[in-house]
Amino acid sequence: MKIIENKTVKEKAYFEELDNGLKIIIIPKENTNKKMAIIGTKFGSIDNHFINPKTKEEETIPDGVAHFLEHKMFEQADGTNSLDTLTALGVEANAYTTNDHTAYYFETIDNFEPAFKELLNYVFHPYYTDENVEKEKGIIAQEIKMYADDPISKVFLNALQCMYNICPVRIDVAGTVDSINKITKDTLYDCYNTFYHPSNMILAVCGNLEPEYILNLIKDNMKYYDKQEKIERIYPVEKEEILQKEKEEEMEVSIPAFVIGIKDKVEETDIVKKELILNIILNCIFDENSRLFKDLYEKGLIISEPDLEYEYSDIYSHMMIFSSSKDPEKVYAKFKEEVKKLIREGISENTFTRTKNKIYGRLVTSYNSSAQIARIFMRDYLNNIITFDYIEKWKEISLDEVNKMLKNKFKEEKMVLSVIKPKK
């Protein structure tokens, strides 16, 4: 196995790729009782148009298939449910679907080996019937309606729909009631056989475990797979311009919720360094120590530090700022004023150093948790990133680079505001 060590965080990661293409990351971590295993496939809600690598034919699938597949993976042909099996072993297990990947995981102190075998068993042995697919449609339809009534989900989705014209990131991960009703057993098997091939997947394990033991356990519990060519995904060409500047809805909330979105350009660049710089900028503008936050807090316009996010994939890139305020429009106006002022004056050396060290602290403390380590290594490796690179790239970032990116990326014409207000 290839070994990469980072002396700053005092961690080693073991990398291996099996003959079937499955990529494996094992991060041994002594002095911890918790063990985490997570397997992810690069198949999310945006992957609805592709060339089937086996048939070489172009396929378009209904929205929500990746999420639907996630729901159906636990049900087994013998009538058992793997989630129940894992719970009976005393482990915490679950799964999730995002815009660009789906993942299945468990965390435990005891019974790691039987839980790990169960994880590999259900992920690589799907079971779909006409009956269980039809039954699941009703369950997912209720989930779709629930999230449609959730103000937090809605305010984020509306921000995406303001920023993007035709990019599939603007579609809800679960799809719509109409789109999931088009999904059949054959749809699920076709997408499973395409996207759940080991060559499109990453398995990460972290805990007080021997790498050779884990690798042998994987090999002993993997069935044979033929080689598969790389999946050719087809995405629409997104405009650089936003679709609309603002979107407002009324829902059952006591105080308005808002998201400020900033659309970015997808580009060939050092994505690790770019992500670090953008997170530094977002925190310089709007963390709890910033000039803007202190001003808004003193005026009673905001009551807690906003959530600050940068998200990207092969086809989208954007920043989001989420919080609550009695006057989101005034907060948005103040935000735009502060951005212009910082572009004009430049972020100060003191602010840059403080914020850069804050980001570094987050990077280092993320290595305290086995669950967090496994999750971030899996997610990063799906994007062809070695997680240790964030620690190394952090050292290279300069104030000049930060101020240059501030000018290039925080343009008012790329900003949107999504607001959920209380019903009148």
Residues 289 and 416 grouped into a single domain: yes
pLDDT, position 35: 97
Residues 156 and 74 grouped into a single domain: yes
Residues 269 and 395 grouped into a single domain: yes
Residues 280 and 346 grouped into a single domain: yes
Residues 78 and 184 grouped into a single domain: yes
Structural domain boundaries enclosing 39: 2-233
Q: What's the pLDDT tens digit per position in 133-155?
A: 999 999 999 999 999 999 999 99
- Please spell the DSSP secondary structure of 323-386, one letter per residue: EE-S-HHHHHHHHHHHHHHHHHH---HHHHHHHHHHHHHHHHHGGG-HHHHHHHHHHHHHTT--
pLDDT, position 282: 98
- Please spell the DSSP secondary structure of 255-301, one letter per residue: S-EEEEEEE----SS-HHHHHHHHHHHHHHHHSTTSHHHHHHHHTTS
Residues 225 and 253 grouped into a single domain: no
- The answer to whether position 239 is within a domain reads no
pLDDT, position 423: 92
Tokens representing 349 are 């050396």
Residues 185 and 266 grouped into a single domain: no
Confidence of residue 31 (pLDDT cuts 50, 70, 90): confident
pLDDT, position 56: 93
Report which DSSP code applies to 231: P
pLDDT, position 413: 98
Looking at every residue in the chain, the average pLDDT score rounds to 96
Active site residues: 70
Place of tokens 């990398």: 15
Q: Is the pLDDT of residue 223 over 90?
A: no
pLDDT, position 256: 97
Residues 206 and 284 grouped into a single domain: no
**Which of 209, 233, 257 is the last residue before a domain boundary?**
233
Q: Which residue has the higher pLDDT, 224 or 209?
A: 209
Q: Whole-prediction pTM value?
A: 0.95
Residues 308 and 213 grouped into a single domain: no
Instruction: Tell me what percent of the residues of the chain surpass a pLDDT of 70.
Output: 100
Q: What's the pLDDT tens digit per position in 331-361?
A: 999 999 999 999 999 999 999 999 999 999 9
Residues 270 and 198 grouped into a single domain: no
Contact criterion met (CB below 8 Å) for 86 and 118: yes
Among 268, 275, 361, 362, smallest CA distance to 310 is for 275
Strands 415-422 and 257-263: antiparallel
pLDDT, position 227: 84
Q: Structurally, how many domains does the chain consist of?
A: 2
pLDDT, position 424: 84
Residues 255 and 336 grouped into a single domain: yes
SS (H, E, C) the chain: CEEEEECCCCEEEEEEECCCCCEEEEEECCCCCCEEEEEEECCCCCCCEEECCCCCCEEECCCCHHHHHHHHCCECCCCCEHHHHHHHCCCEEEEEECCCCEEEEEEECCCHHHHHHHHHHHHCCCCCCHHHHHHHHHHHHHHHHHHHCCHHHHHHHHHHHHHCCCCHHHCCCCCCHHHHCCCCHHHHHHHHHHHCCHHHEEEEEEECCCHHHHHHHHHHCCCCCCCCCCCEECCCCCCCCCCCCEEEEEECCCCCEEEEEEECCCCCCCHHHHHHHHHHHHHHHHCCCCHHHHHHHHCCCCCCCCEEEEEECCCCEEEEEEEECCCHHHHHHHHHHHHHHHHHHCCCHHHHHHHHHHHHHHHHHHHHCHHHHHHHHHHHHHCCCCCCHHHHHHCCCCHHHHHHHHHHHCCHHHEEEEEEEECC
- CA dist 307 and 35 (Å) reads 29
- CA dist 283 and 276 (Å) reads 11
Residues 204 and 315 grouped into a single domain: no
pLDDT, position 226: 84
Confidence of residue 222 (pLDDT cuts 50, 70, 90): confident
Confidence of residue 323 (pLDDT cuts 50, 70, 90): very high
pLDDT, position 356: 97
- The answer to whether position 353 is within a domain reads yes
- CA dist 325 and 399 (Å) reads 31
**Which of 169, 200, 233 is the last residue before a domain boundary?**
233
Q: What's the pLDDT tens digit per position in 146-194?
A: 999 999 999 999 999 999 999 999 999 999 999 999 999 999 999 999 9
**Which of 233, 255, 271 is the last residue before a domain boundary?**
233
Q: What's the pLDDT tens digit per position in 83-123?
A: 999 999 999 999 999 999 999 999 999 999 999 999 999 99
Q: What's the pLDDT tens digit per position in 372-393?
A: 999 999 999 999 999 999 999 9
User: At 37, which CATH number?
Assistant: 3.30.830.10
Confidence of residue 51 (pLDDT cuts 50, 70, 90): very high
Q: Is the pLDDT of residue 225 over 90?
A: no
